[in-house]
Structure 1
Amino acid sequence: MNGVELRGVTKAYAGLTVMKDINLEIEDGAFLVLLGPSGCGKSTILNMIAGLEPVTGGSIHIAGRDVTELEPDERDIAMVFQSYALYPTMSVRKNIGFGLKIRGMPKADIEKRVDEIGELLQITPLLDRKPSQLSGGQQQRVAIGRALVREPSVFLFDEPLSNLDAKLRADMRVELKRLHERLGRTIVYVTHDQIEAMTLATKVVVLDKGSIQQADTPENVYRRPANKFVASFVGAPTMNFIDGKLIQDGDGIAFDGGSGQLPLASLPTRAHDLIGQPVTLGARPEHLMFDDLGANARVLLAEPTGPDQYVRLAVAGSEVTARTGPEQHFSSGTDARIMIDGARVSLFDPESGRAVL
């Protein structure tokens, strides 16, 4: 394959295994995001691909080559770090072209290539400035330009937007997505920001405690999480969880939470096989619907956010959060009736946390 492949990769520090048997295929031209909490191993994987961390076992392949034992400069990769690491005494032009100069490229070719990158990233007017004269977003573009100018097979990004404010992060996400669409190069991107993951990735790899929990499209990771960890980590507010069991309710199925029942609209037919078994029901806030035919609930708190409203409710012995529009008014201590969209719920095994529906 022309992308990146990790085959049975293991990593240990001082005899303690922190990652075991990591198998991952990154297709050529993919924008793959490694997502997870601090300490889950996402930066370790990136550093092993880059050659900055040796692997303890297994192998790494880039564009069909086994690069496991190669030095970073032999792997045909370029890396953009969280810190811009620009040379303060050099102009933007020299910062971008420095790597090509070291490789002995003729000056005229370097100038041409830097000018092309300047146009691509829309920083041509900045090429003769020093890094200290640039904003954070402009410095990040220069750091990206320094990686792009080499035309590597794979780009590695290690939380490149974390030092930017919210608006600049949003702007840079758009620029990175456009850049990937124009270049079509393979990108491996590390973040703990799920918005970055969901908006940028063609494939998301969710990690926890050194192991892959799910590797799938952003849509599937959100809508069909492989386990309770993925369901709880991806999405804000987090998915609602209620322990109980499915029960027959006339011609349909309801959920018994122990202290009350919740009607489930349009639950898939295969859910009948789970009737009577202990399960954990998972429902995103937007999957809770206010409906006169729903179960009685008590409003605990309403949080308007502008375009949305998050309503905290007590129902069936549990507390849940519903997401609705701003046009409805809710007051703490009042009653409401809610129903769950059964077509979009997830069901998990209470012991293993694995998705069973």
Structure 2
Amino acid sequence: MHGVRLESVRKTYGSLVIIDKLDLQIEDGEFLVLLGPSGCGKSTLLNMIAGLEPVTEGRIWMGGRDVTGLEPDERDIAMVFQSYALYPNMTVRKNIGFGLKMRKVPDAEIDRKVDTAARLLRIEHLLDRRPANLSGGQQQRVAIGRALVREPSVFLFDEPLSNLDAKLRADMRVELKKLHERLGRTMVYVTHDQIEAMTMATRIVVLEQGRVQQCDKPEVIYDRPANRFVASFVGAPTMNFLDGRLTRNGDGLALACRDAVIPLPGLEGPSGLAEGRPIVLGLRPEHVLTAEAGGAGTIQAVPLMSEPTGPDMFVRMALGGSEITARMSSGEKVERNAPLPIRIDGRRVSLFSPDDGARLA
């Protein structure tokens, strides 16, 4: 077993707390993504796992072995950084095999491992080139190949795709996911890009100010965010939030907000949540649906601006004294400043506490 376990890990610089008493179990063979905004502590946490940063308090275990005080080369890990750090005067073959050569691995073994990694990454035709003659995506493959030949138990990735353009990032996301499926090794990946996290991870850890806000499968993070921070950070466009009070609306529930009562068809009354209590309603843009005027559960919104993106169209609209964003098909007819009947999918909404932002339902 080659999982990673963090026990009450803490990192401080003087009085500044970067990571605060963090516990985390990374299972053997999973692709775990550390997701969060800049400055949340995710890269520091990865560096502590790698042994590049000392732990202020707590323990780190790998494969049942306490590695807290071990050097990076004693931890059976390989790390891929944001900067490729390739040697410009060496060929791709020599760049990939350099670490093995420093360990005095026999040349025949180095060649075998380099050829195997090159085939896996589909860069066999690049082995005699130098980094200056490679594209950004090819350089990233070389950096990953350098990690692969070490055959570590745990791979660590620190925002490895952030220097690539949008198309290359999308291509490399697919390649990394395929690589994980082929190797079956434990991978820990740091990013602030939620699309990378949602598409590649088996589990996501959402960090904010050095604390775990939620750790779960991507679909759970998206559909049932643990608090308002997670809800606002994961999703593009971000989740809409409306302040109001829960109230009865015929046989169902509704949100009574500043200028309207918004029906929430399908929402089941949360147990222990009293009617009339202040609440924050969270709804994803795709859960705002156009409807037939006068139909059950409908309310009038006023479109303010639309942003076509190809297959989708994001419509900014006024509702209940606030503004929300709806995701609609590009073929839908939306007239600016003309009333538009909509319906909220109450089965998919989230309810948060206005006090601490915790999920209530």
TM-score with structure 2 setting the length:
0.97
Residue 317 of structure 1, CA deviation:
1.1
Residue 334 (structure 2) pairs with residue 330 (structure 1)? yes
Question: Over residues 134-169 of structure 1, what are the superposed CA-to-partner deviations in whole Å (9 max), with x where a residue is unaligned?
Answer: 111000000000000000010000000011111111
User: How do 1:252-271 residues align onto structure 2 when only pairs under 5 Å count?
Assistant: 252-270=252-270
Gaps of 5+ in 1: none
Aligned counterpart, 1:277: 277
> Which residue in the other structure is 1:87 paired with?
87
Note the C-alpha offset of 1:269. 4.4
Deviations 1:57-104 (A, max 9, x none): 001111111100000110100000000001111111111111111112
Q: In the alignment, is the contact (CA less than 8 A) between 2:18 and 2:40 conserved in 1?
A: no
**Alpha carbons of 1:202 and 1:274: their partners in 2 closer, same or farther (altered >3 Å)?**
farther
**Counterpart code for 2:134:** L
Q: Which residue of 1 aligns with 2:321?
A: 317
Match of 2:303 in 1: 299
Name 2:14's counterpart in structure 1: 14
Which amino acid letter does the alignment assign opposite residue 203 of structure 2? Answer: K
- What does 1:207-246 align with in structure 2 at a 5 Å threshold? 207-246=207-246
* In structure 1, distance between residues paired with 2:39 and 2:263: 40
Aligned-pair CA distance for 1:330: 1.4
Task: Find out whether 1:135 has 2:138 as its counterpart.
Answer: no
User: Is 1:24–2:28 an aligned residue pair?
Assistant: no
Q: 1:233, 1:350 → 2: CA distance?
A: 17
Count of paired positions: 357
Paired position in structure 2 for 1:353: 357
Q: Which amino acid aligns with 1:328?
A: E
Once the two structures are TM-superposed, the CA of residue 276 in structure 1 deviates from its matched residue by 1.7
- Please tell me the residue identity of whatever aligns with 1:351: D
Judge conservation of contact 1:3–1:29 (CA < 8 Å) in 2: yes
- Distance in 1 between the 2:188 and 2:242 partners? 35
Q: Cα offset for 1:252?
A: 1.0
Provide the residue aligned with 2:102 in structure 1.
Answer: 102
- CA offset at residue 273 of structure 1? 3.7
Which amino acid letter does the alignment assign opposite residue 53 of structure 2? Answer: E
Contact 2:4 2:62 in 1 (8 A): yes
Give the Cα–Cα distance (whole angstroms) in 1 for the partners of residues 96 and 268 of structure 2.
55
Deviation at 1:222, TM superposition (A): 0.5
Unaligned runs of 5+ in 2: none
Identity rate of aligned residues, in percent? 64
1:261–1:316 CA contact under 8 A, matched in 2: yes
The structural deviation recorded for 1:271 is 5.8
Counterpart in the other structure of 1:308:
312
CA deviation after TM superposition for structure 1 residue 268, in Å? 2.4
Equivalent position SS for 2:289: strand
The answer as to whether partners of 1:302 and 1:331 remain within 8 angstroms in 2 is no
Stretch of structure 1 that moved more, 99-108 or 65-74:
99-108
Q: Secondary structure at the match of 2:199?
A: helix
Return the offset for 1:337: 1.3
Q: How many angstroms apart in 2 are the aligned matches of 1:148 and 1:184?
A: 12
Q: Does 1:289 align with 2:289?
A: yes
Distance between the aligned counterparts of 2:175 and 2:271, measured in 1? 43
Q: Is the 8 A contact 1:301 1:331 kept in 2?
A: no
